[in-house]
Amino acid sequence: MDFEKLTRLSADIRIWTIRTIAEAGFGHIGGSASIADVLAVLYGGMMKIDPENPKWEERDWFVLSKGHCAPALYAALALRGFFPMDWLKTLNKGGTNLPSHADRLRVPGVDMSTGSLGQGISAAVGIALANRMQGRNSWTYTIVGDGECNEGQVWEACEVATHQALDHLIVFVDWNKKQLDGTLEQISNPVDLAGKFAAFGFACETVPGYDVKAIWEAIERAKAAPGKPHCIVLDTIKGLGVKLAEVEDFNHYLTFDVAKGETSVEEIERRLAEGTYPGGDFKW
Amino acid sequence: MVKIRATHEKDTREMRAIYGEALMKAAEKHKNLVAINCDLCSSMGLKSFVKAFPDRAINVGIQEANGCSMAGGMAAAGMLPFFNTFSVFASRRVYDQIFMCAAYPKLNVKIVGGDAGVTATSNGGTHMPFEDIGILRVMPGITIMEPSDGVMLDDLVEQMAETEGLQYLRFTRKQTEKIYEEGSHFEIGKAVVVREGKDATIITCGILVTEALKAAETLAAEGLDVRVVDMFTIKPIDAACILESVKATGALVVAENHQLIGGLASAVAEVLADNAIGVPMEKIGIRDEFGEVGDQAYLMERFQLTAPYIVEAVKKAVSKK
């Protein structure tokens, strides 16, 4: 795999997420930024997909359980040709095909509607089970937020995934350390997310969530290990790679215009050029 | 074609057994049908299904939320999920799950709730669904049904498997009176006039159809000729039947094993209001109360759901003509 190409794709997902939200004027930039790298891995080569035929039965499936970060998913899907790039300018505008939360009926390539947290992972468990029952050799991927793991339903889903031995299910936790109102520790301390998934019977590992090579290789290891569902905890930073979000403590949801967005786009290009992408001199 | 029995003796089979058999017949035909349940195989009549289709019976344990959202995922990936649990859990406990993983994404999910209304008996107020129809009726696109006997239940389960879309069916697990002849076929959304009459109409569903028929017999002896309508589809409701019945009889009683707020009576009143129809209307149902423990006979008396109360309601409606 050409990891430089995946890194470039992750930068493009960040850039188009910024532009998408800037056109709308406001949106969930923090958690969208922190999943850009895993989306680049999935949509840049890991997933078996066909943009010309989004409903292809033998495809791999993806559920964005943290559905509010749909702008990043929309950017990835548009960049892969699931729909025209100019749709991205319509986010949240009346009559748009791109609502704030991921929508299976409006957006080609979105496999499940999400937005009410805790449910996407359950839907992914159902999809993985259904694909196995129908004899498909498909992988089901889902991203849950670290704050989303407050929801009890996440752990119900984990129990069934393990009971059903859904080894073609790969759950990513976007461990960006913050939820809407503050840090995880301030709100409802999860103590040990990776340990909890492992305790629920998952094969679990933690990788740098901004490192496309590390993510790719973790998925390869998961695919080679039958018998258990998989959890890959993405150790990352909310807003990472998007300067206008990095500098804000509360960056779950920000208001910014196109001009401000473009300064962060320029910063991404600068970091890429000097080899410090995605974080630059951002201290974490 | 619906054939109504001349006599209404008690069925020898429990409704849950009829449901389980109907689901097995549907599963034979629809290879993608799966039965999801939440540690209630026995209560929902699914034990035979589990034996016959072990790979298509998914017992998720006591986790209704996950089970319901999983049903949505399974439907998205091409399966035909029937999600089974008690009506209270199939509605109020998984309300957002039905919304997010079935209604909003327009997925082909079937929700089946047992122990409707007072038939929850000894499980009492915590388990007695008087609000399920009301809260689900506002879910865009959902179809809501309550069969009145085993013949209807059997037919509706087959149709649920055949019909695309989110549907909710509530029923009692126990025996009911037989109302329809074997082989009767019902059209979802089209009410059945189970007894003709010209002086008043009783619109009802589920276990109260039998009570309404008993009431009509009592009233006939007193000289009142009462129509009884089995409104087994609460949504979409058969407005044409309501309007025609009201026009033909001029007095109306709605009887339901459910809260009067939001249920069948509300749905009927909405049709009348939408069509600017003023008609004497009396209601039999739960009046903003919780359920409680007791056997079915006690509870039907406690909540004034039996034939004698319907008789009085009809007389009152007729007196206002």
Express each pLDDT in A16-68 by its tens digit: 999 999 999 999 999 999 999 999 999 999 999 999 999 999 999 999 999 99
Report the candidate in B239, B255, B236 with the shortest Cα–Cα distance to residue B117: B255
Torsion of CA B4, B6, B7, B11, to 10 degrees: -30
Is the Cα dihedral B75, A71, A237, A148 positive or negative? Answer: negative
Q: A125 and B73: CB-CB below 8 Å?
A: yes
Q: Which residue of B has its CA nearest to A67?
A: B100
DSSP helix/strand/coil, A180? coil
Mean pLDDT value across residues A66-93: 98
Helix axes A258-274, A3-24, angle to 10 degrees: 170
- If phi over 0 gives left and psi between -120 and 50 gives alpha, with beta otherwise, what is residue A109? left
Residue to mutate among B53, B62, B66, with most A CBs inside 10 A, is B66
A127 to chain B, minimum CA–CA distance in Å?
A: 5
- Nearest residue to A73 (alpha-carbon basis) of A166, A180, A174, A151: A174
Three-class SS state of B11:
coil
CA distance B52 to B34: 12
The Cα of B146 is separated from the nearest Cα of chain A by a number of Å equal to 27
* pTM, two decimal places: 0.97
Q: Are A77 and A52 in contact (CB under 8 A)?
A: no
The 10s digit of each residue's pLDDT in A147-192 is 999 999 999 999 999 999 999 999 999 999 999 999 999 999 999 9
Q: What are the φ/ψ torsions at residue B135 (nearest 5 degrees)? A: -75, -30
Mutation target to probe the B interface, by most B beta carbons within 10 A, among A104, A156, A164 is A156
pLDDT confidence of residue A280: 87
Q: Token pair for residue A142?
A: 């889902």
B15-170 CATH, one of 3.30.70.1520, 3.40.50.720, 3.40.50.970, 3.30.460.80: 3.40.50.970
- Strands (DSSP E) contained in chain B are 33-37, 57-59, 80-86, 110-114, 143-145, 167-170, 192-195, 200-204, 226-230, 233-235, 252-259, 281-286
All structural domains of chain A: 3-274 (3.40.50.970)
End-to-end CA distance of chain B: 34
Could you give the CA distance from residue B165 to residue B154 in angstroms, rounded to a whole number? 19
B65 part of contact set with chain A, CB < 8 Å: yes
Residues 104-143 of B with CB under 8 A from A: 104-106
Domain spanning B192-319, CATH class:
alpha beta
Two tokens at B80? 């035909």
Domain ranges of chain B: 15-170, 192-319
Q: Which of B55, B71, B105 is the closest to A126 by Cβ?
A: B71
A127 with B74: Cβ contact below 8 A: yes
Residue B126 buriedness (CB in 10 A; 0-12 / 13-18 / 19+): exposed
Catalytic (active-site) positions of B = 64
Q: Is the Cβ pair A57, B74 closer than 8 Å?
A: no
- The DSSP element (H or E) to which A208 belongs, if any, is strand A203-208
Confidence check: pLDDT of A283 > 70: no
User: What 3-state DSSP class applies to B164?
Assistant: coil
Tokens 């049709």, located at residue: B271
Binding-site residues on chain A for chain B (CB distance < 8 A): 57, 61, 63, 103-105, 111-116, 118-119, 122-131, 133-134, 152-153, 156-157, 159-160, 163
Q: Show residues of chain A in contact with B109, CB under 8 Å.
A: none
Residue A281 pLDDT level (bands cut at 50, 70, 90): confident
Contact flag B76-A152 (C-beta cutoff 8 Å): no
Which residues are within 8 A (CB) of A231 and not within 5 positions of it... i.e. 6 or more apart? A170, A171, A172, A173, A194, A197, A198, A202, A203, A204, A205
Q: Judge contact between B75 and B102, C-beta under 8 A.
A: yes
Distance from CA of B16 to the nearest CA of A (A): 26
Select from A144, A97, A98 the least CA-distant residue to A119: A144
Q: How far apart are CA B142 and CA B91, in angstroms?
A: 12
HSE-CB of B167 using CA atoms within 13 angstroms: 25
Of B72, B78, B79, the CB nearest to A123: B72
**Which one-letter DSSP state was computed for residue B241?**
H
Note whether B15-170 and B192-319 share their fold: yes
Mean pLDDT for chain A overall: 97
Residue in B66, B78, B105 nearest the CB of A134: B78
Asked if B104 and A113 come within 8 Å (Cβ–Cβ), the reply is: yes
For residue A152, the chain B residues in CB contact (below 8 A) are 65
Contact B60 A160 (CB under 8 A): yes
Residue A284 scores a pLDDT above 90: no
Question: In chain B, which residue's Cα lies nearest the Cα of A57?
Answer: B77
Contact A129 B65 (CB under 8 A): no
Chain B residue numbers with beta carbons less than 8 Å from the beta carbon of A105 are 105-106
Does residue A89 have a pLDDT over 70? Answer: yes
* The predicted structure's pLDDT at residue A270: 97
Nearest residue in chain B measured CA to CA from A155:
B66
Question: For residue A242, which of A24, A34, A9 has the smallest C-alpha distance?
Answer: A34
pLDDT, averaged in runs of 10, over chain B (321 residues): 92 97 98 97 96 98 98 98 98 98 98 97 97 98 98 98 98 97 97 98 98 98 98 98 98 98 98 98 98 98 98 98 94
Tell me which of A62, A119, A125, A171 to substitute to probe the interface with B (most B C-beta atoms closer than 10 Å).
A119
Distances (CA, A) of A85 to A29, A74, A266: 19, 9, 20
Collapse the DSSP code of B236 into the 3-class scheme (helix H, G, I; strand E, B; otherwise coil) and give the result. coil
Is A156 in Cβ contact with B77 (below 8 Å)?
A: no
The answer for residues whose C-beta is within 8 angstroms of residue B109's C-beta and 6 or more apart is B71, B72, B75, B81, B83, B98, B101, B102, B166
Q: Cβ of B104 and A160 within 8 Å?
A: no
